[in-house]
Amino acid sequence: MGCGWCFGFSFSKKDEKVMGSRSGSDSHTSQESLLDKEVEDDYGSYNGYMTDTCSADDCEFQSPTKRSEEILVYRMQHGLICREFPVKETHELIRSEDDNGNKMVNEYVQGYKIGAGSYGKVVLYRSQLDGKHYAIKSFHKSHLLKQRVAPSETAMSDVLREVLIMKMLSHPNIVNLFEVIDDPATDHFYMVLEYVEGKWVYEGAGPPCGLGEHTARQYLRDIVSGLMYLHAHNIVHGDIKPDNLLVTGSGTVKIGDFGVSQVFEDDNDELRRSPGTPVFTAPECCLGLTYHGKAADTWAVGVTLYCMVLGKYPFLGDTLQDTYDKIVNDPLSLPDEMNPLLENLLEGLLHKDPRQRMTLENVAEHAWVIGEEGPIRQYVCWCKHNRLRREHSHGSPTDTLTFKY
């Protein structure tokens, strides 16, 4: 869903110097894999760093993916969703052409390709019903079923979990899912998503030193608002990074791509498998231990802020293992002339010890984040709004669900 330059600047790979390469001519390719995609070998082994500590048999029973799907199905069956209007579900697919010969999917007229992912492509469409543009993710179900992502799971599991998660969510800083088109008689599967314009900047055209504090602060406030909403609903995103943070024409950031996200029944967000992007991976995820998903998300927010402000990554090695070594062992390097408040915030977000790492609630109250804009606006989500309305009507709480945000 995301464009590679959605923050309005690019991280030029030619600016990242390769120092002491141990992989010879493969170094450039290795670094690209750290920046541009998720890398996972043998369902969880990163060049010797094990990020999934359960055995294949154990995973059959302990897989967070299965647990997430069960929780999501339960919530859907019991109406525990956080959106006023449900996602439209369409089970008939009509492929045709308009009067100008443009391809159509039901009422949507095809435009041009705007993105691509591991499982499918994203194309801009225009609805003939309301005239609006939509970003439509398209998949081939047969391809998803053949692509294995874990010992007992295929890519179809990831896509269906993403759909179930997005069916539950509604927040101004999260990309909205409007419709799912799944015709049992065809191999095609579509997700009709809110179209976010993004900001495309070709390599070398962006500011040499990031976005500047003002823009970075505005973007961070939106990211924190959306992520606090997810965490309050016991959802861990799992892959926070600029590519998955889209910017509207008015400068609002929206979180997208829930392909590796997980859901929990309560505040116990312990995970074993870390399928995110290497350079945004938290230290505890590199050590082959169980870790807490919310704290790992918060680390990724810190890496993202570092990128926004300085235009480069805080920890990047020549190879995957070298990158993990740096994430775990290297101290955070910040310019001497950096704003002391921003320096304090980055050090808190990028603390190696997740127990001492700054929480999102702390971030929202931080002096640099508040700036001249004041505290981040408290968003009353749909399910909390209904709960408060029922409490007001009956004079006492009737809903056992508790949200922190």
* pLDDT digits 0-9 by tens, 113-142: 988 777 889 999 999 999 999 999 999 999
The ranges assigned to domains in the chain are 13-55+198-370, 83-194
Binding residues: 137
Confidence of residue 172 (pLDDT cuts 50, 70, 90): very high
Tokens of 367: 């002096």
Catalytic residue ranges = 239
**pLDDT for 37-80, tens place per residue?**
544 433 332 333 333 333 333 333 344 555 777 887 777 776 77
Cα 58 to Cα 81: distance, rounded to the nearest angstrom = 31
Helix 213-232 with 293-310: angle, nearest 10 deg: 170
Range of lowest pLDDT (83-87, 91-95, 112-116, 147-151): 147-151
Q: What is the pLDDT of residue 200?
A: 39
Closest C-alpha among 347, 350, 352 to residue 287: 352
pLDDT recorded at residue 36:
58
Judging by beta carbons within 10 Å of its beta carbon (0-12, 13-18, 19+), is residue 38 exposed, middle or buried? middle
- Judge contact between 139 and 147, C-beta under 8 A: no
Average pLDDT in the 185-197 region? 94
pLDDT value of position 289: 78
pLDDT reported for residue 224: 96
pLDDT of residue 398: 43
Residues linked to residue 50 through DSSP beta bridges, in sequence order = 45
**Comparing 161 with 41, which gets the higher pLDDT?**
161
What is the per-residue pLDDT for 138? 95
d(CA 227, CA 405): 10
**pLDDT tens-place string over residues 96-111:** 999 999 999 999 999 9
Instruction: Please report, for residues 162, 175, 389, the alpha-carbon distance to residue 137 in angstroms, rounded to integers and kept in the order given.
Output: 12, 13, 36
| pLDDT bracket for residue 298 (50, 70, 90) | very high
Bridge-based pairing state of the strands 88-90 and 49-50: unpaired
Contact 347, 353 (CB under 8 A): no
Q: For the chain, how big is the Rg over CA atoms in Å?
A: 21
* 197 to 65, 252, 253: CA distances (angstroms): 31, 10, 11
Answer whether residue 220 shows pLDDT above 90. yes
Q: Which residues are annotated as a binding site for ATP?
A: 137
Residue 97 has a pLDDT of: 95
Nearest to 152 by CA among 52, 226, 25: 52
Q: Which of 133, 242, 222 is nearest to 171 (CA)?
A: 222
Confidence at residue 209, expressed as pLDDT on a 0 to 100 scale: 56
CATH of domain 83-194: 3.30.200.20
How high is the pLDDT of residue 216? 92
Whole-angstrom Cα distance, residue 258 to residue 239?
8
Q: Which amino acid does the sequence have at 86?
A: P
Question: Average pLDDT of the chain?
Answer: 79
Say which residue, 64 or 189, is predicted with more confidence.
Answer: 189
Q: Flag whether pLDDT at 177 surpasses 90.
A: yes
pLDDT in tens, 332-344: 999 999 999 999 9
Complete DSSP assignment for 262-273: EE-SSS--EES-
Q: What is the DSSP letter of 328?
A: H
- Identify the CATH number of the domain defined by range 13-55+198-370: 1.10.510.10
Read off the pLDDT of residues 366-380 as tens digits, 9 standing for 90 and up. Answer: 999 998 888 888 877
CA dist 301 and 189 (Å) reads 32
Check: CB of residue 249 under 8 Å from CB of residue 8.
Answer: no
Percent of the chain with pLDDT over 90: 50
Could you give the CA distance from residue 299 to residue 332 in angstroms, rounded to a whole number?
13
In this prediction, residue 24 carries a pLDDT of: 40
